[in-house]
Amino acid sequence: MSQLQQFCRSRISWGLLLLSAIGLELAALFFQYGMDLAPCVMCIYIRVAVLGIFLAGLIGMLQPEVWFLRLVGMVGWAISAVWGLQLAYELNDMQVNPSPFATCSFYPEFPSFMPLDTWLPSVFSPTGMCSDSPWSWLSVSMAQWMMVGFAVYCVIWLLMLLPALKPAR
């Protein structure tokens, strides 16, 4: 078995995915409460995509040797990373090309069986506007950094796909 296959079947690989998502969620909360930056509804949706990556890492970490759990983790990871990339792209477009006709909602639209904004409003309730871009680092906005982050998640997922799903010999 190759070293990459062994790495995909280890708790360390899935734990790193989980820790990266925890880091992003903590950074979001720091920006919100430490730097007093109000998250918009798209920012909240991006948090949910990161939460999906967190859950994928957690599922993969449970039993990384079990093929089915790795598959579920990989599918969750892919869906969350692609959805997050799409959300970050849309948010960046709203910020770079502001238009009175292209605005985001003031209220998140979560499914009725999972009203995250009701369950945990301190994390999932938007208070800002999507067209605002109050923070940047190295002339790159937060939405653009999230595009980079989700693109990295997608590339790593592609590198891990075949080794993770290939049966052990």
Domain ranges of the chain: 3-165
> Tens of pLDDT along 111-159?
788 877 778 777 777 777 766 667 667 877 888 889 999 999 999 888 8
d(CA 107, CA 116): 12
Terminal-residue alpha carbon distance, the chain: 7
Is 106's pLDDT higher than 80? Answer: no
| pTM, two decimal places | 0.82
Q: CATH for 3-165?
A: 1.20.1550.10
Average pLDDT, whole number, for the chain? 82
Give catalytic residues, as residue numbers: 40, 43, 47, 104, 130
> Tens of pLDDT along 18-73?
999 999 999 988 988 888 888 888 888 999 999 999 999 999 888 877 778 888 88
Residue 104, both tokens: 């985001």
Token look-up 């692609």 returns 82
Between 130 and 15, name the one with better pLDDT: 15
Q: Measured at the alpha carbon of residue 63, what is the angle toward residues 120 and 49, in degrees to the nearest 5?
A: 35
Quick one: which of 143, 123, 124, 121 has its CA closest to 132?
143
Kindly state the average pLDDT of the residues 1-24.
82
Answer for the pair 11, 65: CB distance below 8 angstroms, yes or no: no
Token look-up 């409460």 returns 33
Between 162 and 58, name the one with better pLDDT: 58
The CA-atom distances, in angstroms, between 126 and each of 14, 44, 56, 70 are 30, 6, 24, 33
Residue 61, both tokens: 């970490």
SS3 131: coil
> Tens of pLDDT along 76-98?
999 999 999 999 998 888 877 77
Helix/strand/coil percent split, the chain, to 5: 65, 5, 30
